[in-house]
């Protein structure tokens, strides 16, 4: 017995000595800073959009909106913080100043701020209240400061940079520790500009002198990260979309200098020389600011879960926006869905079926226990399975002990040593045979794969290509709840309604009387006729589980049955009024403006119009500036509305514009400018709003 103990001790000491001689892998390319690591580990945090736009129902303010509009009678930053905390967020970024130039704090450098608003008799400071609420709820505070200011008389001049940095200094010195500074990429264009009412242009790569602006930030807030789409590298990057997803391949790398086209933003650069990770931003509603018309379009739990998998699950962070209502609160539906989303995430990843299970690897660095397969299933983020320097492939097998049902696979690299994996597969051992479940490319901080549920005794993770020897810090296997997607409701020009979804198997129920559909409502058995103005609500229903999807709501205006396009012979142009958002027509001419004329077939009391652009954001023809006309005879025209479709390039949503009601039979949408600067106007759908 004594001999056995003696030899065990000797063996242990020798093993410790052997392990001590096995060095950790050297860093592979750029690695994250400590600031970037802290940020990455937050995973989910919130945006708050609240400004004068909230009161004018605009996306972007022009800069001349009356400061007296800002008077939220129930403003409560503690409610915002509570909702975000309960929704699983780790911090909040507040839009301290959007493009209109209105400041949510009493800046001493402008009169266009809360100090001249009725709210709290000009004594309020929304940023202060947000900072205090974040501190109370254990959340980190971030600051959004728009570099573009449509109110400032000096915008476009050198003097504005001093003004901009003075405001930045106020925000970074008076409100405690800031985890992120967020600079929007929108720059230049028309604006109020102190009464000049003109268009001003700047070179976004040089005007702001980002090098010295960054130096100021690092001096005042050494622990924060910088997000910038304004022409210079920060610590984080935009992913080229505001839809809430990043590329399936996602490298946390870019090149430190040079242009960054969309594909680099979306996928990163495999051999980039700077660590610039992906922040995936989107709103819980279609738009960033609150619009009453979107109360029925709040993202559902299935949609939010899909965003989670396409952001956090693809090596990014998830920045989810909450638009504040005019009364100063988060809308109850937004709160309800956000909290249900947090519950769904927690339930999906509550039980790691791989935790501390028996694991083996095809190759282990120096054959050392320090880098064994067990290090990937021990829940310790600082341990990892690694291979020898010249071994860029390898497999790790986990024995689940018994047939186990699962539908999610999670992997994490030890990114303090860089991002390495280029391709991998996941297999399950089912009935004595290995079955491939999924394959993917990059991993990075976190990668989550979804697949149909499978029952297996073992799972095998195989790295088939890597930049350097792999270092895998965590493997997770989960059996997550599956959610039904809300159905899509479409009515074509002939008045035929279809209800469908991408899910396989559900049936649909709908109502036309405004009531909430259930499994006892009218069952959808195929397209049906529903002409005129009406509201349709529908659900997907799984008869096996008895589960229902969130409710879809679509409101339709007058029938398009008698509508005609005037002066257009191209048969494909019918896509403009066919009611199908997937069909698109591009109208081309020698020069702008380009007119689209529609005969409504009868006279109606028209009080607005809707324009849906091509949903391919990189297509030409997405209209940014427009005029809208009406006529009784298609000869004499009267302009009833003009303006811009704000942020339509980055967020090509359905655009709704309202004006004073006018009786008309003919309408004309005039495209003055598009996102590409060419002579094309593209349409997925055009509709009118009637009283």
pLDDT at residue number 346: 98
Cα 408 to the center of its chain, rounded Å: 22
DSSP characters over 204-269: TTTTT-HHHHHHHHHHH-TT-EEEE-SSS--SEE--S-SSS---SS--SEE-SSS---HHHHHH--
* C-beta of residue 129 within 8 angstroms of C-beta of residue 50: no
pLDDT at 25 exceeding the cut of 60: yes
What residue spans define the domains of the chain?
34-348, 358-478, 488-556, 564-690
Topology adopted by domain 488-556:
Immunoglobulin-like (2.60.40)
pLDDT at residue number 9: 40
Topology alike, domains 34-348 and 564-690: no
End-to-end Cα spacing for the chain: 94
pLDDT at residue number 250: 98
Measured between alpha carbons, how far is 174 from 181 in angstroms, rounded to an integer? Answer: 14
Mean pLDDT along residues 344-371: 97
pLDDT at residue number 658: 95
Q: What is the per-residue pLDDT across 644-680, written as a single tens digit (0 to 9) for each?
A: 999 998 889 999 999 999 999 999 999 999 998 899 9
* C-beta of residue 97 within 8 angstroms of C-beta of residue 685: no
pLDDT at 121 exceeding the cut of 60: yes
pLDDT at residue number 74: 98
By the 10 Å C-beta count (0-12 exposed, 13-18 middle, 19+ buried), 411 is classed as buried
Topology adopted by domain 564-690:
Jelly Rolls (2.60.120)
The CATH number of 34-348 is which of 3.30.499.10, 2.60.120.10, 3.20.20.80, 3.30.1360.30? 3.20.20.80
pLDDT at residue number 259: 83
pLDDT at 436 exceeding the cut of 70: yes
Mean pLDDT along residues 178-185: 95
Considering Cα of 388, then 393, then 395, then 396, what sign does the dihedral take? Answer: positive
Q: Which residues are CB-contacts of 683 (< 8 A; sequence separation ≥ 6)?
A: 575, 576, 584, 585, 586, 587, 596, 611, 612, 613, 614, 621
Residue 456's closest CA among 435, 474, 480? Answer: 435
Q: What band does 249 get if pLDDT is binned at 50, 70 and 90?
A: very high
Q: What is the per-residue pLDDT across 37-81, written as a single tens digit (0 to 9) for each?
A: 999 999 999 999 999 999 999 999 999 999 999 999 999 999 999
Which string of b and e fits 204-236 if b means at least 16 CB within 10 Å? Answer: beebbebeebbeebeeebeebbbbbbbbbbbbb
Lowest-pLDDT range of 155-159, 270-274, 421-425, 615-619: 615-619
pLDDT at 118 exceeding the cut of 60: yes
pLDDT at residue number 57: 93
Q: What band does 13 get if pLDDT is binned at 50, 70 and 90?
A: very low
Measured between alpha carbons, how far is 424 from 537 in angstroms, rounded to an integer? Answer: 43
> How far lies 571's CA from each of 81, 577, 589, 682, in Å?
53, 12, 17, 15
pLDDT at 4 exceeding the cut of 50: no
pLDDT at 10 exceeding the cut of 90: no
Q: What is the per-residue pLDDT across 468-503, written as a single tens digit (0 to 9) for each?
A: 999 999 999 999 998 999 999 999 999 999 999 887
Topology adopted by domain 358-478:
Jelly Rolls (2.60.120)
R_g of the chain computed on alpha carbons: 28
pLDDT at 545 exceeding the cut of 90: no
Q: What is the per-residue pLDDT across 257-300, written as a single tens digit (0 to 9) for each?
A: 888 888 999 999 999 999 999 999 999 999 999 999 999 999 99
Read off the tokens for 521. 């409502």
Q: What is the per-residue pLDDT across 655-665, written as a single tens digit (0 to 9) for each?
A: 999 999 999 99
Which string of b and e fits 634-673 if b means at least 16 CB within 10 Å? Answer: eeebeebbeebbbbbbbbbbbbbbebeeeebbbbbbbbee
Per-chain mean pLDDT for the chain: 94
Residue 644: beta bridge partners? Answer: 625
Q: What is the per-residue pLDDT across 592-629, written as a single tens digit (0 to 9) for each?
A: 999 999 999 999 999 999 999 998 767 789 999 999 99
Cβ neighbour number for residue 197 with a 10 Å cutoff: 12
Q: What band does 231 get if pLDDT is binned at 50, 70 and 90?
A: low
Q: What is the per-residue pLDDT across 89-117, written as a single tens digit (0 to 9) for each?
A: 999 999 999 999 999 999 999 999 999 99
Residue 471's closest CA among 29, 17, 36? Answer: 29
Measured between alpha carbons, how far is 470 from 9 in angstroms, rounded to an integer? Answer: 32
Cβ neighbour number for residue 287 with a 10 Å cutoff: 24
Q: What band does 230 get if pLDDT is binned at 50, 70 and 90?
A: low
């Amino acid at each position: 017995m004594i001999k056995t103990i003696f030899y065990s001790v000797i063996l242990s000491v020798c093993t410790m000595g052997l392990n001590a001689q096995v060095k950790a892998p050297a860093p592979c390319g750029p690695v994250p800073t400590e600031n970037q690591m802290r940020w990455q580990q937050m995973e989910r945090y919130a945006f708050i959009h609240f400004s004068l736009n909230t009161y004018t129902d605009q996306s972007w303010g022009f800069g001349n909106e009356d400061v007296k509009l800002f008077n939220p009678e129930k403003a409560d930053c503690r409610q915002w913080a509570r909702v975000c905390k309960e929704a699983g967020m780790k911090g909040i970024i507040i839009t301290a100043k959007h493009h209109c130039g209105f400041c949510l704090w009493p800046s001493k450098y402008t009169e266009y701020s809360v100090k001249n608003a009725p709210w709290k008799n000009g004594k309020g400071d929304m940023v202060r209240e947000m900072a205090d609420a974040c501190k109370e709820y254990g959340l980190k505070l971030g600051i959004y400061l728009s570099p573009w200011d449509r109110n400032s008389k000096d915008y476009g001049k050198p003097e504005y940079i001093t003004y901009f940095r003075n405001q930045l200094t106020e925000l970074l010195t008076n409100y405690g520790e800031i985890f992120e500074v967020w600079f929007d990429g929108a720059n230049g264009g028309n604006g109020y500009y102190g009464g000049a009412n003109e268009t001003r242009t700047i070179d976004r790569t040089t005007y702001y002198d980002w090098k010295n602006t960054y130096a100021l930030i690092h001096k005042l807030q050494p622990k924060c990260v910088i997000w910038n789409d304004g022409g210079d590298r920060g610590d984080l990057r935009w992913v080229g979309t505001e839809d809430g997803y990043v590329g399936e391949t996602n490298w946390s790398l870019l090149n430190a200098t040079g242009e960054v086209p969309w594909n680099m933003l979306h996928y990163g650069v495999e051999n980039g020389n700077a660590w610039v990770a992906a922040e995936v931003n989107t709103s819980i509603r279609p738009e960033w600011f609150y619009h009453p018309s979107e109360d029925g379009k709040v993202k559902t739990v299935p949609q939010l879960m899909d965003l989670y998998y396409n952001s956090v699950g693809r090596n990014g962070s998830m920045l989810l926006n909450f638009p504040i209502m005019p009364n100063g609160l988060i809308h109850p539906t937004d709160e309800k869905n956000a909290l249900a989303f947090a519950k769904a995430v927690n339930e999906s990843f509550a039980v790691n079926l791989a935790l501390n299970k028996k694991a083996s690897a095809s190759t282990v660095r120096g054959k050392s226990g320090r880098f064994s397969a067990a290090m990937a299933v021990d829940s310790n983020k600082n341990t990892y399975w690694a291979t020898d320097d010249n071994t860029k492939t390898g497999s790790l097998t986990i024995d689940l002990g018994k047939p186990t049902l699962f539908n999610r696979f999670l992997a994490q690299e030890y990114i303090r040593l860089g991002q390495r994996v280029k391709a991998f597969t996941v297999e399950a051992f089912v009935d004595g045979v290995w079955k491939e479940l999924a394959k993917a490319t990059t991993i990075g901080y976190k990668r989550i794969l979804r697949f149909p549920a499978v029952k297996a005794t073992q799972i095998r993770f195989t790295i088939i290509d890597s930049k350097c020897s792999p270092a895998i810090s965590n493997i997770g296997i989960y059996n997550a709840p599956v959610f039904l997607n809300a159905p899509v409701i479409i009515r074509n020009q002939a008045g035929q309604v279809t209800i469908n979804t991408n899910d396989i198997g559900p049936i649909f129920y709908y109502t036309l009387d405004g009531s909430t559909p259930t499994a006892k409502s009218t069952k959808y058995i195929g397209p049906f006729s529903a002409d005129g103005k009406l509201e349709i609500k529908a659900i997907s229903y799984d008869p096996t589980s008895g589960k229902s999807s969130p409710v879809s709501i679509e409101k339709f205006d007058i029938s398009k049955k008698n509508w005609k396009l005037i002066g257009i012979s191209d048969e494909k142009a019918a896509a403009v009024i066919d009611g199908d958002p997937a069909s698109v027509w591009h109208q081309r001419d020698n020069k702008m403006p380009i007119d689209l004329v529609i005969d409504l077939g009868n006279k109606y009391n028209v009080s607005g119009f809707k324009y849906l652009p091509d949903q391919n954001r990189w297509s030409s023809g997405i209209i940014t500036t427009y005029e809208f006309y009406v006529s009784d005879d298609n000869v004499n025209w009267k302009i009833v509305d003009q303006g811009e479709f704000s942020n339509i390039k980055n967020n090509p949503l359905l655009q709704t514009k309202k004006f004073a009601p006018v009786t008309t039979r003919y309408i004309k949408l005039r495209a003055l400018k598009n996102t590409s600067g060419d002579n094309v106007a593209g349409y997925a759908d055009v509709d009118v709003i009637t009283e």
